[in-house]
Amino acid sequence: MISGACGDADDDGPIQPAPGESVRTYRMGFSAIPPRVNQAEALTVIDMWTSRADAAIMHISPPWKALLSGVSATAAVNANELQLANYYRAKNLRIVVMVDATDGLNRAAEAPELVELGRSISEPAVQQVYRQFVLALSSIVKPDYLGLVAETNLIRLSAPASLYASLKQMVNAAANDLQFVGSSATRYVSVQVDVAWGWGQDNVYKGVEQDFADFPFMRALGLSSYPYFVYADPDEIPLDYYSRLPNGRSLPLMVVEGGWASGSAGTIVSSSEEQVRSLRRQARMLDSAKASAVFQLTFTDLDIPSLNLPSGSILPLFASLGMVDVNLRPKPALAVWDSLFAVRRSP
């Protein structure tokens, strides 16, 4: 259960399972991403999934152009994230934030807005606006959990060493800022689970000890996992796929992004039936890890033709992760999600 420093005073009390009753330790939820860039449809989608969730994740890229042009971090957060956070809280959802400081579709690169501006997180001025943005998220949104950077081990593997060094400096400075102001959010970073198990390398388990060393402020561990890139069958995923990573540490584990495709794209071959089995397999992995939360970024599939993607974009490989299709029609996986959500949540 998510229970950050904000406490559980607004909760409905501990849930005591009856003898032999199935329970889940983890909260469940999605983000606000719609199938198409359409504000009205985005609200429809949020209303569809918030009835089958007890938490929400806000996966946020800093608005680099605005921040570097003089817009204050406070103004940026008040204009964007605050309204959505208030909407979630009105639905009694806990809020987890993940700040994504680099390119989410290419971890070898800086954020696309910074590349377009010819700027870099190696610059003190860029680091400073990131730190101000993180502080504003903490003080204005007041999330239960605040992730300061996504997929650190994948960035370390694929990006230039100088970029990773700058990232580490910037993120640890932001964590110190949060500590100084007494932020109530539990701070974490996310790691790429498939990479931790050796994907893209020699397929030998690597773990995430370097990430714990590089970001010692962590009081939770975020997990990113798209195992359909690694395994042909979801039942091949080890049951300790999540639980092995803490290496004996006792801290909350949260899946902050991931999923299994329901269709084929590129070299990926999958089906709705595989997606259904992946959710059931994941539930066993979450139970094994005594996880605190599981999020998928997309509740719906993505309408790729409407998005005008640049040539070579890998986003189509993630287009069919949704519980509903691009027209909001339920897929078989939705019934499985709902059955898992119906399980009583333990304290």
pTM of the model: 0.92
Show the domains of the chain with their CATH numbers: 23-345 (3.20.20.80)
pLDDT at 12 over 60: no
Hey, which residues does 60 pair with through a beta bridge?
A: 99
Pick from 13-17, 23-27, 97-101: least confident: 13-17
What whole-number distance in Å separates Cα of residue 299 and Cα of residue 338? 12
The percentage of the chain sitting over the pLDDT mark of 90, rounded to a whole number, equals 90
By CB neighbour count within 10 A (0-12 exposed, 13-18 middle, 19+ buried), where does 13 fall? Answer: exposed
- Buried residues in 181-211 as b, exposed as e (16+ CB within 10 A): eebbbbbbbbbbbbbbbebeeeeeebbbeeb
The H or E element that residue 209 is part of is helix 209-214
Answer with the residue of higher pLDDT: 312 or 27. Answer: 27
Q: Residue 182: which residues within 8 A CB-CB, separation 6 or more? A: none
What is the 3-state composition of the chain as percent helix, strand, coil, each rounded to the nearest 5? 40, 15, 45
Gap between the Cα atoms of 89 and 241, Å rounded: 32
Give CA angle at 60 (316, 30), nearest 5°: 65
Mean of all residue pLDDT scores within the chain: 93
Query: Model confidence over 253-270: pLDDT tens digits?
Result: 999 999 999 999 999 999
Q: What is the pLDDT of residue 346?
A: 82
